[in-house]
């Protein structure tokens, strides 16, 4: 074997050993370490921030919105409604996206006008009282939150449908209202799934 061949073989051997070492260190060790830290320090987040029912079965994630409609797509009056979604057929985590329509797009303007009238009629309020997030989708199409203003116009309807005092429903809304992050980043929000689960648990 000549010098050139030995040098090449040595180089290949070093490369193979280095690849094996770094695969073990970073492909296995690093991943395992992060998994352990995540499970110990932030188990809920590491497992998808799942929300479960009374029997412990997962019914969704606090990070991904969902629709509260019947088989025909009509909104269920006993539940708080989420904002519109442009992700697939609605809140499809495999098709996250916004509508990509600009504010002067005729189709978007028509959709917003129609949604405003529908939301107003469904909740018994004036169209002018319908907040923006009730008629527009988020950029991801998966936003699990609504504004306190949108929650507020739904309180009377949910309370009447469930036969409970509006004050009790409002207290649940307040309990599930999250302030701006770090006290100043963004706006206050209400997690719709968590709120609706709390409503169901109240009646059990």
pTM for the model stands at 0.79
Does 120 lie in the same domain as 164?
yes
Look-up: residue for tokens 């989708």? 137
Percent of the chain with pLDDT over 70: 92
- Quote the tokens at residue 24: 């073990």
Does 53 lie in the same domain as 37?
no
Does 59 lie in the same domain as 38?
no
Does 188 lie in the same domain as 88?
yes
Element (H, E) at 18: helix 3-22
Structural domain containing residue 12: 3-44
pLDDT tens-digit readout, 13-54: 788 888 888 898 888 888 888 888 767 676 666 666 788 777
pLDDT at residue 1 tops 60 = no
Look-up: residue for tokens 């107003």? 120
């Amino acid at each position: 074997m000549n010098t050139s061949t030995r040098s090449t073989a040595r180089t290949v051997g070093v490369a193979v050993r280095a690849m094996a070492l770094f695969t073990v260190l970073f492909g296995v060790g690093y991943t395992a370490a992060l998994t352990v830290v995540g499970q110990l320090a932030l188990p809920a987040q590491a497992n998808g921030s799942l929300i479960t029912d009374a029997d412990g079965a997962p019914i969704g994630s606090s990070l991904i919105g969902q629709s509260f409609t019947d088989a025909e797509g009509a909104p269920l009056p006993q539940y708080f409604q989420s904002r519109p979604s442009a992700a697939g057929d609605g809140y499809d985590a495999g098709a996250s996206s916004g509508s990509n329509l600009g504010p002067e797009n005729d189709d978007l303007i028509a959709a917003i006008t129609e949604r405003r009238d529908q939301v107003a009629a469904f909740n018994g309020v004036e169209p002018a009282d319908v907040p923006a997030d009730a008629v527009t989708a988020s950029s991801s199409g998966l936003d699990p939150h609504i504004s306190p203003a949108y929650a507020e116009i739904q309180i009377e309807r949910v309370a009447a449908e469930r036969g409970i005092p509006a004050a009790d429903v409002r207290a649940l809304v307040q309990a599930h209202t999250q302030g701006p992050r770090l006290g100043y980043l963004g706006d206050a929000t209400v997690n719709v799934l968590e709120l609706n689960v709390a409503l169901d648990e109240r009646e059990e």
